[in-house]
Amino acid sequence: MKKALIYTDGASSGNPGPAGIGVVIEIDGQKKTLSEYIGETTNNVAEYTALVRALQLAHQRRVGSVEVFTDSELLVKQLNGQYRVRNEGLLPLYRKVISLLKSFKSSKITHIPREQNREADRLSKDAIKKARNTR
């Protein structure tokens, strides 16, 4: 069974403001990254969007098990059932993540300090910078 190690981050310049996502996914020793501008939105929407995209990538590559690392404590606590999702804008993204997680044989989501998530953080901020430079 293939396993993916996934690092995700979302960033918003202003809250809401221009936003980007960063994903680092490693499957069987091969690393793939994603840096994508997602428009004007909040930081929390960007965090969830990054996770959705990462899980979709893992699913497309027929991964059976995912281990996700993120520096978003809110995201982790909502997905682990410690916090309720009260923001109406986050509910569809939350439901999408739950649905995607069910497609894997096993999954784990862990909160990590920002220092341990530097690459995904850089990728999310790079997406915003690139979008600003093309305007």
pLDDT digits (tens, 9 = 90+) for 20-38: 999 999 998 999 999 999 9
Task: Find out whether 69 and 112 touch, Cβ atoms under 8 Å.
Answer: yes
Residue ranges with strand state E in 1-131:
3-12, 17-27, 30-41, 65-70, 106-111
pTM of this structure = 0.96
C-alpha torsion sign, points 51, 53, 54, 60? positive
pLDDT digits (tens, 9 = 90+) for 70-84: 999 999 999 999 999
Which residue ranges form the domains of the chain, and what is each CATH number?
3-133 (3.30.420.10)
**What stretch of H or E contains 45?**
helix 43-60
